[in-house]
Structure 1
Amino acid sequence: MLTGLIVACEDVAGGTGLRAELPVAGQTVLEQQTRLLVEVGAERVITIAEQLPPAIAAALARLRRDGIAIEIVRRVEDVAQRVRPDERLLMLADGVVTDTSAAERLLSASVPAILTLADVPESRNWELIDASARWAGMLLVDGELIRRTARMLGDWDLQSTLLRNAVQAGAERVDLGDGKHAPLLAQVTDAGSALAAEQAISRVAARGSTGLLDRFVFDPLARALAPRAMAAMIDPAWLRGGASALLMLSALVLMGGGRWPGLVLAMLSGPVDVLGRHLAGLTMRLRKDHRRWTQLRHGTASAALLALGWNLRDYGWGTLALAAATLGGMTALLEHERWIGKPPRRPFLLADTDLLIWLLIPFALAGWWPVGLAAQAAFALASLLTVQRLTRRQS
């Protein structure tokens, strides 16, 4: 069993409040640390906090609402009572912001283990271990070492004492590495360093583009808007839910006779959803709910497409048949990727929800709405055949 351990006791440098409550990437440092620990396999997280300001209490409520098991204790003795001697604990130091690659690198070592940095001028703000290495703010220990540290702690600093005990126990040293491929690592001590950590998270964030529009239009827009959205601490769930709501509203407007307003609402759904997915990636939220949100959007997009077919029934009931054909092709495409497999490299010109929506624009401008529906159906079918051919080659 892996348990996460967070220290949240240090005050902000030159200010008031705790480092743990500073905002980073749309959430507090405490939330970022907790979600990281859960992401790498921690079944529960124990946080040592001598005080509980409102910002920390609110952060705990959000984490628990997301189903994360997190406990708050005031002393290391309380931690010792809650862990077994052979239990593994991954500890994050106060105000340390990092990513999953750093944690996974440490977890691959045997217990006890220390994540280290080379002693160079750039790392002078990190705690010195010896003449050649500094501590990178992460430890892998067992419950027995925690208990031993609790018995001898007294008035000493928990982090430093636990580090020294791990060193004396012959802890394996895991070098973080350097260069452009090194894991993210930042020390948040004040508002300025919190902003720097947020910018670093934004730079290294990777989210695979899902299509042509996503790569060249929506993703650059999401990256430009993400800093403001994070500063406003917008929950990605609001955006992902909002994208589906726009499609549902589009369906209602189309049923009421508004073609262009309905199409515009559907077009707006795409960038809103991509921004939500981008923020979710930055903040490590919605991982377990990603499939549910995606299915909801597919469902509301289907409703909007059928509503458009109904709206265009003046051209004949064949418009509904074309809408149904598009839905059939897209459903077959999604089920093929789910049960048979995806191509090794997904072509950017495969049909997806947003590309089908935006494909209608030139036909709508020309007044050829039914032709646009026919183009959608043909595109969905061509995409299905392409995926079948590519996966057949792969097998």
Structure 2
Amino acid sequence: MLTGLIIACEDVAGGAGLRAELPVAGQTVLEQQARLLIEAGAERIIAIAERLPQGLAAASARLRRDGIVIEILRRVDEVAQRLRPDDRLLVMGDGVVTDTGAAERLLEAAPPAILTIPDAPDTRAWELIDASARWAGLLLVDGELVRRTARMLGDWDLQSTLLRNAVQAGAERVPLEPGPLLAQVADPAAALATEQAISQAAVRRPTGLLDRWVFDPIARALAPRAMAAMIDPAWLRGGASALLMLAALSFIGGWRWPGLVLAMLSGPVDVLGRQLGALTMRLRKDHRRWMQLRYGAASAALLALGWNLRDFGWGTLVLAAATLGGMTALLEHQRWIGKPTRRPGWLAEPDLLIWLFAPFAAFGWWPTGLAAQAALAFASLLAVQRLTRRQS
């Protein structure tokens, strides 16, 4: 079993509070570390903190709401009591912020193993372990080494002592290749710089023409402010689905344009939520759940619009159902057969179908807009079938 161990004892340089409480990318350092450990495969997470300030307690509560349980312990011997000698521990140094690439690189080795960076003028802030290498903030050890360290620790620093014991035990040196984000957050200025680095490294790939040229630039412009305000991505993902449900109610109530505007707004709100979710390392299962909810809400809005337009004839409801059938077939084909290696930007997706409707609605051609949506859905299905057949 892989256990994540977070060191959260150091105070902020020149200020009050712990490094683990500093805000980075819309969450605390502790939350960022915990999410990384879960993404890396940790089955449980332990944090050692000599005191439990309000910021750390609040961070733990937010993680728990997201289904991540973290034990915060005060003493090293309490950590040792919870470990078996053969347990694997992925240790994250105090205030260390990185990404899954660094963790996965270290997990390829057998414990004990140390992630290292070269000794150079720009790495002097990292702890020196020999004449040519410095510790990169991640350490892979077994439970026995932690228990042995706990027995000898006394008043010594856990992080440095555990590192020295790993070195003395002949730990493998795993050099960190260029690429993964690596930062040491010791003060608010370092936290801000790390947040900017995370933003630049992001993350989310646009899925189509509308996403690439409209939604993604909006999300990238708003993401820094949303992170500074520590907005939970779940509020945005849920809000996007709520806008679609309000659109469905508007269509049922006979308010076509208000419903269409609400549906169009749901796209950029959802993309901003996805951007924040990627930056803050929200779990992939959350993304699937939100996508399923939003697809369901979009389907309800489309059927409600088809029902609203029945004064043009019941064929509008048939067109709405045809679009849903084409999109369902497209999604199931990609799920079971596979996605094309190169995805054309014009392929149908909920937001593109919604925004495609706007120019037709502007001229009062509401049924024609439904027909255009159905045509795009089936054209996309045929294109994906052809492209995946060529790959096989």
TM-score, normalized by the shorter chain, greater than 0.5: yes
Check whether the contact 2:39–2:283 (CA below 8 A) recurs between aligned residues: no
Alignment of 1:93-132 (within 5 A): 93-132=93-132
Look up the equivalent residue of 1:26 and give its one-letter code.
G
Report how far residue 55 of structure 1 moved.
Answer: 1.1
User: Which digits, 9 at most, give the CA deviation of each residue in 1:222-277, with x for residues without a partner?
Assistant: 11111111111111111110000000000111111111111110000000011111
Q: Which residue identity lines up with residue 335 of structure 2 in the other structure?
A: R
1:195 aligned partner: 192
Q: Do structure 1's residue 173 and structure 2's residue 173 form an aligned pair?
A: yes
Rounded Cα–Cα distance in structure 2 between residues aligned with 1:393 and 1:287: 29
Distance, in Å, in 1 between the alignment partners of 2:244 and 2:283 is 20
CA contact (8 A) 1:237 1:286 kept: no
Q: Distance in 1 between matches of 2:65 and 2:294?
A: 23
Cα drift, residue 198 of structure 1: 0.8
Instruction: Measure, in 1, the Cα distance between the counterparts of 2:236 and 2:326.
Output: 27
Q: Distance in 1 between matches of 2:46 and 2:304?
A: 50
Unaligned runs of 5+ residues in structure 2 are: none
Tell me what 1:383 maps to: 380
Q: What's the counterpart of residue 392 of structure 1?
A: 389
The answer to whether the 8 Å contact 1:267/1:357 transfers is yes
Shift of 1:49: 0.6
Gaps of 5+ in 1: none
Give the secondary structure class of the aligned counterpart of 1:284.
Answer: coil
- Aligned position for 1:306: 303
1:268 corresponds in structure 2 to 265
Runs ≥4 residues deviating over 4 A? none
Structure 2 equivalent of residue 335 of structure 1: 332
- When normalised by structure 2's length, the TM-score is 0.98
2:153 aligned with 1:153? yes
Contact 1:43–1:69 (CA<8 Å) still a contact in 2? no
Matched ranges for 1:1-395 at <5 A = 1-178=1-178, 182-395=179-392
Per-residue deviation, residues 152-204 of structure 1 (Å, max 9, x unmatched): 111111111111111111111111133xxx21000001111011111111111
Cα 1:177/1:339, change in 2 over 3 Å: closer
CA distance in 2, matches of 1:73, 1:295: 38
**d(CA) in 2 for partners of 1:286 and 1:355?**
26
Q: Distance in 2 between matches of 1:355 and 1:136?
A: 44
Distance (whole Å) between structure 1 residues aligned to residue 188 and residue 239 of structure 2: 31
Task: Give the counterpart letter for 1:258 in structure 2.
Answer: W
In percent, how many aligned pairs have the same letter?
Answer: 81
Displacement of 1:69: 2.8
Distance 1:102 1:195 in 2: 21
Residue 289 of structure 1 aligns to a residue whose secondary structure is: helix
Deviation of 1:216 after TM superposition, in Å, equals 1.3
- After TM superposition, the structure 1 stretch with the greater mean CA deviation from structure 2, 336-345 or 183-192, is 336-345
| In structure 2, C-alpha distance between the alignment counterparts of 1:47 and 1:68, rounded to whole Å | 13
Q: How many residues align?
A: 392
